[in-house]
A and B are shown apart, each in its own frame.
Chain A
Amino acid sequence: MKYRRAEDSPLFTKLKGEEHMIIAQIIANGILMGFIYALVSVGLTLIWGVMDIINFAHGEFLMISMYTAFWMFSLFAMDPLIALPICTILIFVIGVLTYLGIIRRVINAPGLTALLATFGLSMFLKNLAQFLWTPNFRYINNSMVSGKTIELGSIVIGVSQVVAAVASIILTVAVMLFIDRTRTGKAIQATALNKNTALLMGINTKKIYAITFGLSGACVGAAGALMATFFPIYPASGALYSVLAFVSVAMGGFGNIKGALFGGLIIGLAEALGGYMLGTQFKYAIVFLIYLIVIQVRPKGLFGW
Chain B
Amino acid sequence: MLKVKNLKVGYGNVPVIFDFSFQVKQGDIVAIVGSNGAGKSTLLKTISGILKPTGGEIQFMGERIDTIPAYKIVEKGISHVPEGRQVFGKMSIKDNLLLGAFTIKSEEQKTKLLKDVYEIFPILEERQDQKAETLSGGEQQMLAIARGLMSNPKLLMIDELSLGLAPFLVDKVMDTLKIIRNKVTILLVEQKVQEVLEIADWGYVVQNGRLAIEGTGEELLQSDIVKKAYLGL
Residues of A within 8 A of B (CB): 183, 186-187, 189-190, 193-194, 196-205, 305
Contact = CB atoms under 8 A, between A and B. Distances in A.
Contacts of B151: 201-202
3 A-B pairs with the lowest CB-CB distances in the bound complex, closest first? A202-B74, A202-B103, A199-B70
Interface of B: 48-50, 69-72, 74-75, 79-80, 82, 86, 88-91, 95, 98-100, 102-103, 147, 151
Nearest to B151: A202
B195 to A, nearest CB: 25
Nearest to B147: A201
Contact of A201 (B49, B72, B100): B100
Contacts of B95: 186
A199 B103 contact: no
Contacts of B89: 193
Contacts of B49: 199
A52 B72 CA distance: 25
A200 B74 contact: yes
Contact of B71 (A186, A193, A199): A199
Given A201-B74, A205-B71, A194 B102 contact: no
Nearest to B148: A200
B100 A186 contact: no
Given A189-B91, A202-B74, A202-B75, 9 more contacts: A183-B102, A190-B88, A190-B91, A193-B91, A196-B82, A197-B82, A200-B79, A200-B86, A201-B147
A197 B44 CA distance: 13
Contacts of A202: 71-72, 74-75, 102-103, 151
28 contacts: A186-B91, A186-B98, A186-B99, A189-B91, A190-B88, A190-B99, A193-B89, A193-B90, A194-B88, A196-B82, A196-B86, A197-B82, A197-B86, A198-B99, A199-B70, A199-B71, A200-B50, A200-B82, A200-B86, A201-B99, A201-B100, A201-B103, A201-B147, A201-B151, A202-B75, A202-B103, A203-B102, A205-B71
B84 to A, nearest CB: 10
A221 B79 CA distance: 39
A187 B90 contact: no
